[in-house]
């Protein structure tokens, strides 16, 4: 398997790559178009705010012309009892490319990369009917919760390592690397 910013998966004429800093404006524009102005008010955003995606798990889909047409990111979180996991999202595909298999290609690649990197579980809040095809279900999240409002039946998990979430409980908490913006604010608070 080819990794990093190199071509690694092709869904039709679309390739999956590691997200690069130059992708940020196009990714943000895509998310605004697809998810709307309330996207930053979701409970999942509380776990992403001020953090960097998990190392190697920010992916983009590009058309043959190089246009960014899809994105998925995974974030480090811990369960209330301290178990490490990943939070997937957002997954978004340009509306002009919807139903072309790009979302599925991004999901398969993200899951494969998470396994390769040694992660044990992925959590998400999303459409159960869509995510079931990748092995996600709500059974392993019954004793877990999000830090804000969410629909319980949409809180799903996929164990990458058998029994990784067995007995897991409590509210998810952010973990992993802080973003440069957050680090700067923390440093200012320490100095001031």
Spell out, as residue ranges, where the chain has pLDDT lower than 50: 1-11, 182-192
What does the pLDDT read at residue 137?
Answer: 96
- What's 129's DSSP letter? H
Domain spans of the chain, in order of start: 10-191
> C-alpha angle with apex 138: 136 to 140, nearest 5 degrees?
90
What does the pLDDT read at residue 180?
Answer: 82
CA torsion angle for 60, 87, 131, 153 (degrees, to 10)?
A: -150
What does the pLDDT read at residue 181?
Answer: 65
The CATH superfamily of 10-191 is Gcn5-related N-acetyltransferase (GNAT) (3.40.630.30)
Give per-residue burial for 10-20: e unless 16+ CB within 10 Å, then b.
ebeebbbbbbe
């Amino acid at each position: 398997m080819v990794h990093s910013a190199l071509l690694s998966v092709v869904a039709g004429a679309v390739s999956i790559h590691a997200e690069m800093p130059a992708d940020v404006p196009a990714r943000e524009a895509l998310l605004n178009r697809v998810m709307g102005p309330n996207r930053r008010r979701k409970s999942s955003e509380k776990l992403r705010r001020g953090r960097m995606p998990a190392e190697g798990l920010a992916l983009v889909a590009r058309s043959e012309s190089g246009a960014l047409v899809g994105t998925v990111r995974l974030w480090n979180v811990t369960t209330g009892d301290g178990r490490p996991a990943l939070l997937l999202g957002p997954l978004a595909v340009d509306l002009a490319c919807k139903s072309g298999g790009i979302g599925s290609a991004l999901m398969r690649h993200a899951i494969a990369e998470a396994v390769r990197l040694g992660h044990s579980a992925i959590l998400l809040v999303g459409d159960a009917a869509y995510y079931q095809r990748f092995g996600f279900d709500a059974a392993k999240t019954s004793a877990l919760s999000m830090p804000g409002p969410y629909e319980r039946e949409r809180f799903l998990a996929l164990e990458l390592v058998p029994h990784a979430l067995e007995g897991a409980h409590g509210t998810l908490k952010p973990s992993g690397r802080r973003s440069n913006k957050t680090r700067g604010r923390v440093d200012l608070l320490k100095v001031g």
